Amino acid sequence: MKKTYFASDVHLGSDLFGPPVEREKQFVRWLDTIKADAEALYLLGDIFDFWFEYKKVVPRGFTRFLGKLCELHDQGIEIHYFTGNHDMWLSGYLANETGVIIHTQPLATTIGGKQFYLAHGDGLGDNSLAFRIMSKVFHNKFFKFLYSNLLPTHIGIGFGSAWARSSRQKDLKNPTPYLGENKEHLIIYSKKHLNEHPETDYLIFGHRHIMLDFPLPPHARILILGDWMRYFSYAEFNEEKLELKQFKNPPF
Ligand SMILES: [Mn+2]
């Protein structure tokens, strides 16, 4: 039976939980295990800890991962890549090189007869001033232009990596534990979304770095995917059931 897989928050390149290459290898091993029965793969954001595409230059590294993406794509697996808050600046390279379909906005789509709502999840349900300012700066075309064209590449990448490192310290090392139904932005947001789109069956998000499978009666569910820093978690949908799972590193 063909399956659809969902994963997020791999933060490739981050050394917060040991050598980055070890986690990259582990994620690639998982991609290797799913390629036998995957029809589609949804990467729901923050796959890279920091990523930026200049006109002629991309950050170095990640070759195993990029190669594996190409392999899966060439084999006919549809790969969807959602930008997160750590890898929002894409300008064609990743899509052209690996064949992934880039999404910069949430996506409502039908898979196996079920209605899915997919997003990285940053900012959804969060109306704080801090978020709005950050978001304006990072999505500002002029700022992106300055960054791409005026800053020397190594300084831009160095600055970006340093930013990712500083912003991840509190978020990634010790993610805020589950806050409860009434405080989790993504649950609040999902309830609102469900009111407006009652046909939705499954809402899947990344971003929070917690694993959560939350029912929204009568029929909907919210999944928060966890991450590949502490949980090595993903969701699997086989057209009958949707499950949140953890990759148990197999002997190689
Ligand atoms: Mn993240």
DSSP state for residue 47 in the 8-state scheme: S
14-55 confidence digits (pLDDT tens) = 888 889 999 999 999 999 999 999 999 999 999 998 777 777
Specify the pTM: 0.88
State the distance from the centre of ligand 1 to the C-alpha of 200, rounded, in angstroms.
Answer: 25
Q: Side by side, which strands form the sheet with 233-237?
A: 101-103, 78-82, 38-43, 3-7, 233-237, 242-246
CB 206 within 8 A of CB 225: yes
What span, in angstroms and rounded, lies between the C-alpha atoms of 129 and 145? 24
CB 225 within 8 A of CB 211: yes
**252: pLDDT strictly greater than 60:** no
State the distance from the centre of ligand 1 to the C-alpha of 45, rounded, in angstroms.
Answer: 7
State the distance from the centre of ligand 1 to the C-alpha of 1, rounded, in angstroms.
Answer: 31
State the distance from the centre of ligand 1 to the C-alpha of 51, rounded, in angstroms.
Answer: 13
Q: How far is CA 223 from CA 15, 38, 65, 133, 234, in A?
A: 27, 19, 25, 28, 10
Residue type, 149: N
Please give the pLDDT value at position 210. Answer: 96
State the distance from the centre of ligand 1 to the C-alpha of 137, rounded, in angstroms.
Answer: 19
Which residues lie across from 225 on neighbouring strands? 211
State the distance from the centre of ligand 1 to the C-alpha of 85, rounded, in angstroms.
Answer: 7
17-26 confidence digits (pLDDT tens) = 889 999 999 9
State the distance from the centre of ligand 1 to the C-alpha of 175, rounded, in angstroms.
Answer: 10
Task: Note the helical H segments in the chain.
Answer: 20-34, 63-74, 93-98, 129-138, 141-149, 153-168, 185-196
158-176 confidence digits (pLDDT tens) = 666 676 666 655 677 788 9
Which residues lie across from 12 on neighbouring strands? 48
State the distance from the centre of ligand 1 to the C-alpha of 25, rounded, in angstroms.
Answer: 19
Please give the pLDDT value at position 244. Answer: 98
Please give the pLDDT value at position 122. Answer: 86
